[in-house]
Chain A
Amino acid sequence: MSTSASGRGAVGTVPPPHGGHDEPAPIKAVKLRHPWRNVFAVVLVLILVLFVLDAAQRPAYDWPTVAKYLFDRRVSQAALVTLELTALSMLFAIIIGVILAIMRLSPNPVVKSVAWFYLWIFRGTPVYVQLVFWGLIAIIYQTIDVGIPFTEPWVSFDTADLIPVFWIAVIGLSLNEAAYMAEIVRAGLLSVDAGQDEAATALGMSWSQTMRRVILPQAMRVIIPPTGNEVISMLKTTSLVTAVPLTTELYSRTRDISAETFNPIPLLIVASIWYLFFTSVLMVGQYFLEKRFARGIGDRPDAGPGPIVGTPATGVLPAVVQDPTIGAKQGGDAR
């Protein structure tokens, strides 16, 4: 294409300016019409308006009931439980996920395989099934014993008393999610240039210092966007803890209320509005987090540092080749 150094004008759509004007005239051309595009847009709007008008007066939606229960105390408390479930499950999932990711990158084959096995189990079975299993934990392991295996335990706890249902739900959700987080974190760690590790190590940083201060902050850029999606996904997955069964969160609670009112539809709308509200807030939060971790990287200008050339330097003799006008401050002295 444009190989000449002065070929800038040839690349754009602007014809070379006639005369000596430095400001080329903007193109005057008849715009290409897209009639079908416009028709489609109009049809879409029409359908939407029809739907809204219809929904507004359709009795099945029962908007007065929606309004009545939207800020009902029982509902808002359940919404809070949903938030707690989401936050705690994600917190543990991220911690376990980081550990699993590091285990998968370990040079020790046993450690690596254990992490792989974990992922195989927890990603290979539906989360709903896992939650049912966790709900049955008190039946499978009726007591939790502390002591030396195969001897009389020192203390013995009743599992059902020891772990409240809420925490069983958190365990079930976070262990499942950890498997997905592990893959996200691993991809993030692998995205960081090996030279970073090397530079940090050469400065005398320990492995954990290097991880904490150098590798993880950079991996965050790759980790955060999919993690944001996972949080949003987790918020919705909490509706499955009814399998445990935990019934104090948003979906179960609205279902229980609708069992009293004999009208499930408005309460489904109530739950949906709450879920939508939370996911919208999370999306805003994700946006700001991404900006924060793009520090120093995201806004890299096109003309970055000198290209990393693969060819060896060809013995530039400083005295001869050094352009005295460039870097004259330092390079101008006798060579």
Chain B
Amino acid sequence: MTDVNAAPAPAASAAEVPMVLAEGVSKSFGSNQVLKSISLEVKRGEVMCLVGPSGSGKSTFLRCINHLEAVTTGRLSVDGQLVGYREAGGKLYELSPKDAARQRRDIGMVFQRFNLFPHMTALENVMEAPVLVKGTPKAQAKARALELLDRVGLADRSDYYPAHLSGGQQQRVAIARALAMDPKLMLFDEPTSALDPELVGEVLDVMKGLAQSGMTMIVVTHEMGFAREVADSLVFMDGGVVVETGPPREVLANPQHNRTKAFLSKVL
């Protein structure tokens, strides 16, 4: 854990494999380079908060981690496994859709706009993937789903359709839905940005509980209070590059770069 600048650690052998390791990750859409040589490390059980102005590539980076987008250059691995590729004999082979889906199972994702399945109740939303993807028996999946809904404080809302839940409740169902797959890593893309201010707290509390339970999390957020209190590291991105990274209290109290200062002065 003390090995801060873990430069070349490709092979997954040691017990201390970081949960997420990005080495020189770049991503372009056509000629538009959105991520420019990002190198980051998130250790097991760590919470990393990712902040930065709109368009800086935060969502794109999260989407690369679970291979909703393919990276253009660099190496990105989750739990020692290369994302989206298989390496054999010094060559990379693109994963089949089936194998890519298998990788995504272990990575939970929570979206700004919840993206709950509107034609399913809260309970069905949470049960769906375990039953469909993992083949968990229905009764078992249901018990687990109810347990998770209880954990996010929505035991009494399990039969509600998303349209009949408040934004904060929907987002908590979405968190429960992601947790139902027993992920080893959770990605949050501005989970509270679409919420009315009075509903933000209930979602952040669930996330805080999750962090305390030891979940590895990457959170894109504008909630600096949450970052300060919960995160182990804060990363400031701008224009597709990592400008500054460090413990949140230090970065927030004493930003080193002008761009960080300018951004924080607007957000805080």
Asked whether A and B interact, the reply is yes
A contact set with B: CB distance below 8 Å: 193, 195-196, 198-207, 209, 213-214, 217-218, 293, 295-297, 299-301, 304-309, 312-319, 321-323, 326-327, 329-331, 333, 335
**Alpha-carbon distance A218/B161, docked complex (angstroms):** 14
In the complex, the answer to whether B129 meets A205 with C-beta atoms within 8 Å is: yes
Shortest 6 CB-CB distances between A and B: which pairs? A331-B201, A306-B167, A296-B161, A204-B105, A199-B115, A195-B115
- How many of chain B's residues have a CB under 8 angstroms from any CB in A? 63
Q: B128–A296 contact, CB under 8 A?
A: no
* Binary contact readout B186-204 vs A (1 if CB under 8 angstroms, 0 otherwise): 0000101111111111101
Do residues B120 and A296 form an inter-chain contact, with CB atoms below 8 A?
yes
Residues of A within 8 A of B164 (CB): 301
4 further A-B contacts with Cβ under 8 Å, apart from A296-B119, A314-B222, A329-B153, are: A204-B101, A299-B163, A305-B162, A316-B225
A201 contact set on B, CB distance < 8 A: 68, 101, 104
Contact (Cβ within 8 A) B105 A327: no
Partner of A205, one of B114, B132, B166, B202: B132
The answer to whether A305 and B115 have CB atoms under 8 Å apart is: no
A-side contacts of B98, CB under 8 Å: 206
With a CB–CB cut-off of 8 A, which chain B residues contact A209?
132-133
Contact A309 B115 (CB under 8 A): no
Q: Check B163–A297 contact: CB distance below 8 A.
A: yes
Q: CB-CB < 8 A to B204: which residues of A?
A: 318
**A329 surroundings in chain B (CB, below 8 A):** 153
Interchain CB contact under 8 A, B68 and A198: yes
A301 lies within 8 A of B193 (CB): no
Within 8 A of A (CB), among B132-154: 132-133, 153
Check B267–A315 contact: CB distance below 8 A. yes
Give the CA-CA distance A264 to B109 in the complex, in Å: 68
Q: How far is the CA of A239 from the CA of B108 in the complex (A)?
A: 55
Are the C-beta atoms of A319 and B163 separated by less than 8 Å? no
Closest to A205 in B: B133
Query: Nearest Cβ distance between residue A310 and chain B, in whole angstroms?
Result: 9
List 23 interface pairs A-B (beta carbons < 8 Å), by A numbering.
A195-B113, A199-B174, A201-B68, A202-B68, A203-B129, A213-B128, A217-B119, A296-B163, A306-B166, A307-B196, A308-B113, A309-B193, A315-B222, A316-B197, A316-B223, A316-B225, A318-B204, A318-B225, A327-B198, A330-B201, A330-B206, A331-B201, A333-B205
Asked whether, in the complex, the Cβ of A321 is within 8 Å of the Cβ of B197, the reply is yes
Q: Closest CB-CB distance, A8 to chain B, in whole Å? A: 22
CB neighbours of A307 from chain B (8 A): 194, 196
Which of these, B104, B199, B225, contacts A203 with CB under 8 Å?
Answer: B104
Q: Which residues of A contact B118 (CB under 8 A)?
A: 218, 296-297
The reply to whether B223 and A326 contact each other, CB–CB distance below 8 Å, is no
- Contact (Cβ within 8 A) B132 A213: yes
Residues of chain B with a CB closer than 8 A to A305's CB:
114, 162-163, 165-167, 170
The CA of A333 and the CA of B206, in the complex, are separated in Å by 13
Query: Once the chains bind, are A296 and B162 in contact (CB under 8 Å)?
Result: yes
